């Protein structure tokens, strides 16, 4: 019997301008799953190595607020800045709750982030 659990928070961004300078600035602080241009739109998908939700949000906040002004301007002009909270479904517990701190919610709002929640089917 599998348990419902938190997986990670992916950062998915879309931009009409090249986002690779942001990714280069971040260096090894993020894992890059996608970085490409398709039909005039730059697409990026990233993760951090932190495990807990609030720690991940804090890391993303630090990465974005540390961008120099020219790169922060690219970030601010992105079409989408989605923080995708991933969970794996399971058969227990019967009720599962996952809370995000008020501080983390404020940090995501400060950097212009939107929240998406994705539930993945259990591998069972």
The domains found in the chain, sorted by start residue, are 5-120 (3.30.70)
Q: Is 27 left (phi over 0), alpha (psi -120 to 50) or beta?
A: left
User: What pTM does this model have?
Assistant: 0.94
Cα distance between residue 90 and residue 105, in whole Å: 26
Q: Give tens-digit pLDDT for 27-61.
A: 999 999 999 999 999 999 999 999 999 999 999 99
Whether 82 contacts 116, CB under 8 Å: yes
Say yes or no to pLDDT of 1 above 70.
no
């Amino acid at each position: 019997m599998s348990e419902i659990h938190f997986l990670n928070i992916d950062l998915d961004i879309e931009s009409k301008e090249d986002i690779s300078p942001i990714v280069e600035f971040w260096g090894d602080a993020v894992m890059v799953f996608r970085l490409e241009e398709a039909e005039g739109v730059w697409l990026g998908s990233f993760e951090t190595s932190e495990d807990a939700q609030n720690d991940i949000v804090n890391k993303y906040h630090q990465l974005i607020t540390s961008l120099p002004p020219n790169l922060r301007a690219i970030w601010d002009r992105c079409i989408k800045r989605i923080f995708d909270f991933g969970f794996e479904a399971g058969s227990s517990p019967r009720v599962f709750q996952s809370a995000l701190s008020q501080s983390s919610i404020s940090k995501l709002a400060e950097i212009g982030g939107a929240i998406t929640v994705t539930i993945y089917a259990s591998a069972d």
